[in-house]
Amino acid sequence: MSLKKWAELSPLTRKSPKKLYDYLEEELGLEKGWDDLSAIERRSRHRQYLIIQETVTDLPAWSELSPFERRNPKKLYNKIKLVAEEGYSSQTVTETRNISFTINDGTDPIGGATVTIGETSKTTGSAGGCSFNSIPDGETNVEVEKYGYGAYNGKITVGEDSTSFTISLEQIIYDFTSYDSATKDNEFAIGTAACTGTVTDGYAEIEVLTNSVEGFEGNKYYIQQDAEVDGETSYQLFSDAGTTGTGLYVTISIKQ
């Protein structure tokens, strides 16, 4: 014996207590049909469950059902289906849900971030959002990465009231020292910078946050994407993705 999945039932059957009961009566061989039910039994999901329990004897007591199962026809049907087919020793049917993420830096949305659940990855749009379909209820691991930001690796709990999640990434701030040559003969300035997250042809865009020489704060330049953050190795600065040099070289390190 196999009951249809909830999604396979007609919309009318899902919405009508009578038609749903009629379907269960036919499939399970219930002793009482809808016409045999009292007025109270027709209005009470609890009383109908007790009648079904007389046939599907492995069903747990009504008091052992979760509040969601008692209130929600779909959840109650899924419980009956599972026990009728496999017995009460089986676990309840695991719900799946569509969930959404908003990725930000604590204030502003972060576009172009990669959000990964299992083997599925999505990229956030300009508003910092992305979504996943059919994620099972319960804990699941989430990874979020964006060039120039600290990575996130943590768990979320998916459930009926938990389908939207906001995760904040911390932007990495770099200390830099600039020179007028690759050999670092003459120091030009010191300051701080952050990656904007824009990567083009192997070059990352950085924005100057502070600079000991006036007139450079807010300017954006390009540096090799794979530049070592060791405070020692010098890298040429470009005004675009690696074709127009600025005449400056920098060493970079993580700001302490």
Distance of CA 119 to the CA centre of its chain: 13
- Could you give the C-alpha distances from 220 to 165, 180, 216, 246, in angstroms and in order? 32, 18, 9, 11
pLDDT averaged over every residue in the chain: 92
Region 31-50: mean pLDDT is 92
Q: Which of 45, 96, 43 is nearest to 70 (CA)?
A: 45
In the chain, what are the domain boundaries? 6-86, 96-168, 173-254
Q: What is the pLDDT of residues 163-204, one digit of tens each?
A: 999 999 999 999 999 999 999 999 999 999 999 989 999 999
- Check residue 93 and give its pLDDT: 55
Reply yes or no on domain 96-168 having CATH 2.30.30.30: no
pLDDT beyond 70 at 69: yes
Are 219 and 178 within 8 A, CB to CB? no
Tokens linked to 30: 């219930």
pLDDT at 11 over 50: yes
What integer is the mean pLDDT of 12-18?
Answer: 93
Q: Residues 47-67: pLDDT tens digits?
A: 999 999 999 988 889 988 888
Residue predicted with more confidence, 136 or 88:
136
As a whole-number percent, the residues of the chain with pLDDT over 70 amount to 96
Rounded Cα distance between 163 and 160, Å, is 7
